[in-house]
Amino acid sequence: MKNILVVDDSSLVRVKVKRALEEEGFQVTEAISGEEALNNIGNYPIFDLIIMDIILPGRNGLDIIEKIKENPRYNLVPIMILSVSHEKENVLRAIEIGAVDFLVKPFDKEELLARVQKITGETPWQKAKKILKLEINRSFRSKVSFSVIMAEQKTPLPEGFKGSSIKNLKEVLEESLRSIDTVIVLSETSFLLVLPAMSAQDISTVIQKVSRALTTKEKTISWCFASAVYPENGENEEQLLKYVRNQLTLTPSSK
């Protein structure tokens, strides 16, 4: 999951940006000043993107960008300016010292997401939405339902459990499913399964099969499963994902 630092002294702006980014699968850390941003940079794992206002309490955003770029770990980390100050001098100065983009407030949510995606690349949730949209179009034309299953890990990861192990679990899932099914790694703790031509009657059997496969591979992790069927539980990708995420809170874990 990609982590973005949002630096703005306006709580309304931070909430709006955070909500938009988290809906797309980003992890967001907030800072209300340049000094807090510098502290976060020193104390957190490296961020994938920094979104920053120029007008901040204390030191201004341009000074903070220069300070950030002095850190060798952040020399190549992209910085996007989000500010009401759109004077040409500020824009040119921001780009000169390391900013890669400049978005003026008030901003459009879709434009913000498009620019963030261009900088950071496609997130797992964006990939999931794209695949679901394609499957919805195919199912609509063929008049055949399809299903999605979300699997979420509910116990702490074992010590030493790394990304390679997540990849192994993905392979285990793929081996337990049909060749036409798709497994998407949403995060280190969750997967989304897209199952074409799968009716509601068959979902419980698939969940049992997937649960056995996962627990056989890693017995110390318990999993929670939830499912949705198109079009009964949602007519578009947003509705399907919202439904299945809500269902996770109602489904007991399986071990």
Shared domain check, 97 and 51: yes
Residue 87's pLDDT band (cuts 50, 70, 90): confident
pTM for the model: 0.65
Shared domain check, 128 and 229: yes
Domain boundary among 86, 120, 154: 120
Shared domain check, 248 and 177: yes
- The answer on pLDDT for 180 being more than 90 is yes
Q: What is the CATH number of the domain that holds 26?
A: 3.40.50.2300
Look up residue 2 and give its two tokens: 């990609």
Q: In which domain, by residue range, is 141 found?
A: 124-254
Shared domain check, 131 and 226: yes
Can you tell me whether residue 153 is helix, strand or coil? strand
At residue 133, what are phi and psi to the nearest 5 degrees?
Answer: -65, -40
- The answer on pLDDT for 50 being more than 90 is yes
Q: What is the CATH number of the domain that holds 225?
A: 3.30.70.270
Instruction: Give the separation between CA 119 and CA 62, rounded to whole angstroms.
Output: 20
- Higher-scoring residue by pLDDT: 2, 29: 29
Look up residue 45 and give its two tokens: 């794992």
Shared domain check, 129 and 115: no
Mean pLDDT over residues 204-233, rounded? 87
Shared domain check, 100 and 144: no
Radius of gyration of the chain (CA): 21
Taking only the tens place, the pLDDT of each residue in 88-120 is: 888 888 889 989 999 999 999 999 999 998 999
Shared domain check, 113 and 66: yes
- Tally of domains in the chain: 2
SS3 content of the chain, % helix, strand, coil (to 5): 45, 20, 30
Domain boundary among 66, 89, 120: 120
Instruction: Give the separation between CA 221 and CA 213, rounded to whole angstroms.
Output: 12
Instruction: Give the separation between CA 157 and CA 222, rounded to whole angstroms.
Output: 10
Is cis: bond before 231, omega within 30 of 0? yes
Mean pLDDT over residues 44-73, rounded? 91
What is the pLDDT at residue 197?
Answer: 93
Shared domain check, 235 and 134: yes
Shared domain check, 116 and 171: no
Shared domain check, 232 and 129: yes
At residue 221, what are phi and psi to the nearest 5 degrees?
Answer: -105, 130
Shared domain check, 141 and 114: no
Domain boundary among 120, 145, 174: 120
Shared domain check, 197 and 87: no
Instruction: Give the separation between CA 99 and CA 129, rounded to whole angstroms.
Output: 29
What is the pLDDT at residue 20?
Answer: 94
